[in-house]
Amino acid sequence: MKKIYTYRFFTLLAICAVAACSPQEFDDYSMGTPDGITPSQISFSVTPSTASPNIIIFTNTSGLKHSHAVHWDLGNGAVAKGETATGMYPMKGTYVITMSVYAPDGSMVVKMHDLIIANDDFSLVDSPVYNKLTGGIDNADGKTWVFDQYNNFTREVADALGKDIRGHMGLGPANNYDHSWWGAGANEKEATELYKFKFTFKQSGTQLIIQNNGKGYGRWACANGQPGAVQDGDDSVFDYTGGTYSFSITEPEGGYPVLTIPPTSILGYYACNNDYEIIYQTEGAMALRVLNTTENQDWVFIFCREDLNIAEPPAPPIVKELREVALLEDFEGDAPTIDFVAETMGSLTAWPYQNPAPVPINSSSKVALYQKSTEFYSNLSYTTVDYLFDLTQVNKIRVKVFIPSYNDYVTEHAVAGDWIINRRLLPQLAVKLQDSSRGGNAWETQAELVQANLELDKWLELLFDFSSYAGRTDFDKIVVQFGAEGHAGPGIFFFDDFSFDR
């Protein structure tokens, strides 16, 4: 059986004055246009459930034989459609129940009833879902939620659900419960003032209080009729000033709890539906899923407690100390000992790779294949994690290279700019030491050694002696670059037994 948690709303909602009845609501009926419906024709029953006298079942007993649609205002902030509705009333008092019956021609008849609840029954709202949402029965001020603006809880939600959750809001295919189409990065929606929204769920008055900056946001397909609506791609910005509302929670057996808010309210971003499945919930974070049936999409939003919505402090800078560390890579193992990173390399770049000429001076089985792409600055690089190169003693790089004759060393190619004099692929190798903290400007202070006009089709052993730079204490990156830089000429090269030592 379903347990339904519904809470009082200080302002009575006029159900269909806000949302007009849609013609498709009558599709299940086959009779023609009826005569007018009169008040004397409609009635409904009021039956306490067996679970509690404060849970009431309302049933349309009108017995109409022609097409009609039924809407309910349950007097506690909850609304419903259909021949029956169930309301829960944890607090004693008098509640005005309104059943509105609509004909296809748009005519409407209303039946009202004063429901008297004699006693409080707060046990009806003492559930884990409700307590996590509001802070519990002892928290009179309620709990305030905001969007998880900095994605502090994104990974937590993704791991718990086993879903592709990428940010504090995002969408994917209907019924995927994920962000496989798009997820918002940290603070990505700052320009929309979406982060001005605050949502306070409180037991005192059983209220949902929505505060914002006077604007609402949502899908253009759903919100284009809202006051002041302006299209922004697939989205819409419109006038909305928040307010005080009610909400309801339904906990179906075997399914996620469903948080329902009135049609006149939005939880920051309107995705064509006011029923939110609570797919993840802790004391400090929750994820809500909305099915946008208009566009056949799933939207998943992540909210966190207001005090937890803080920008992650930047990671402290890594202080690298000078060290004498010898490096060696022979490419014989399955896992490299030097973690070279390919920067705009060709797709054939690989290691280990079968030695193309296993003869002296390099008869080893595996080597590295280096493919210079048509990009201007192809290279391999290695950057230390936590130290700088102490070049006092460890200052020599040795490497074996094989320069194939089948490369085209004659054709001139496009270049990066007029300052590039050479336009050809060259049979050469450049090795550079750089300061990685300078990013794209590291070349300005680099130390570069070049060995050019290398003999073709044989293994050569090269030495790059950086001892003259022993006084430099800022290097933490090695760059290996075949064929010369600044031009678009492609080529294949091989190297092996790379070492950085004394």
The predicted structure's pLDDT at residue 67: 83
What's residue 27's pLDDT?
Answer: 35
Provide the whole-model pTM: 0.51
pLDDT for the residue 226: 87
Mean pLDDT of 130-146: 90
- The identity of residue 394, as a single letter, is V
Residue-level pLDDT at 225: 81
In this prediction, residue 28 carries a pLDDT of 35
Task: Reply yes or no on whether the pLDDT at 57 is more than 80.
Answer: yes
Cα-based distances in Å from 209 to 3, 7, 240, 286: 24, 13, 13, 17
Q: Could you give the C-alpha distances from 319 to 86, 148, 223, 325, 329, in angstroms and in order?
A: 64, 31, 52, 17, 26
- In this predicted structure, the answer to whether residue 35 has a pLDDT above a threshold of 70 is no
Sign of CA dihedral 417, 421, 426, 429: negative
Domain 3-121 -> CATH class: mainly beta
Helix, strand, or coil (residue 200): strand
Confidence of residue 3 (pLDDT cuts 50, 70, 90): very low
Q: CATH 2.40.128: which residues of the chain?
A: 126-308
pLDDT at 77: 67
Return the bridge partners of 302, or none: 287
Q: pLDDT-derived band of residue 13, with 50, 70 and 90 as boundaries?
A: very low
Listed range (304-313, 430-439, 456-465, 472-481) with the worst mean pLDDT: 304-313
Coil/strand/helix, residue 9: coil
Is 126-308 a domain of CATH 2.40.50?
Answer: no
Rounded Cα distance between 61 and 41, Å, is 9
CATH 2.60.120.260 intervals, the chain: 321-501
Q: How many CB atoms lie within 10 A of CB 240?
A: 24
Please give the structure tokens belonging to residue 186. Answer: 């940290």
pLDDT beyond 80 at 205: no
Rounded Cα–Cα distance for residues 317 and 320 (Å): 9
**Torsions phi, psi of 429, nearest 5?**
-135, 130
Query: H-helix or E-strand containing 160?
Result: helix 154-161
Rounded mean pLDDT of 421-439? Answer: 96
Mean pLDDT score, 258-267: 88
Contact criterion met (CB below 8 Å) for 74 and 8: no
Helices first, then strands: H and E counts in the chain: 4, 36
Confidence category of residue 312, pLDDT binned at 50, 70, 90: confident
CATH of domain 321-501: 2.60.120.260
Question: DSSP state, 496?
Answer: E
Question: Exposed, middle or buried, 139 (CB in 10 Å: 0-12/13-18/19+)?
Answer: middle
> Residue 24's pLDDT is what?
34
282 has pLDDT over 90: yes
Closest among 388, 471, 403 to 437, alpha carbons compared: 388
DSSP 482: E
115 has pLDDT over 80: yes
Model confidence band, residue 50 (pLDDT cutoffs 50, 70, 90):
confident
Please report which confidence band the pLDDT of residue 206 belongs to, taking 50, 70 and 90 as the band edges: low
Question: Which residue did the predictor score with more confidence, 77 or 410?
Answer: 410
Given a cut of 70, is residue 389 above it in pLDDT? yes
In this predicted structure, the answer to whether residue 146 has a pLDDT above a threshold of 50 is: yes
Which is nearest to 301 in space by CA: 272, 264, 276, 266? 276
CATH 2.60.40.10 in the chain: give the residue spans.
3-121
Among 12-16, 191-195, 418-422, the range of highest mean pLDDT: 418-422
CA distances from 39 to 42, 108, 252 (A): 6, 9, 35
Q: In which residue are the tokens 């349309």 written?
A: 60
79 has pLDDT over 90: no
How do residues 208-241 score in pLDDT, each as one tens digit? 899 999 999 999 998 888 899 999 899 999 999 9
Tell me the average pLDDT of the chain: 88
Q: Mean pLDDT: which of 89-103, 115-129, 215-229, 419-433 is highest?
A: 419-433
Task: Choose the weakest-confidence range: 77-81, 100-104, 184-188, 193-197.
Answer: 77-81
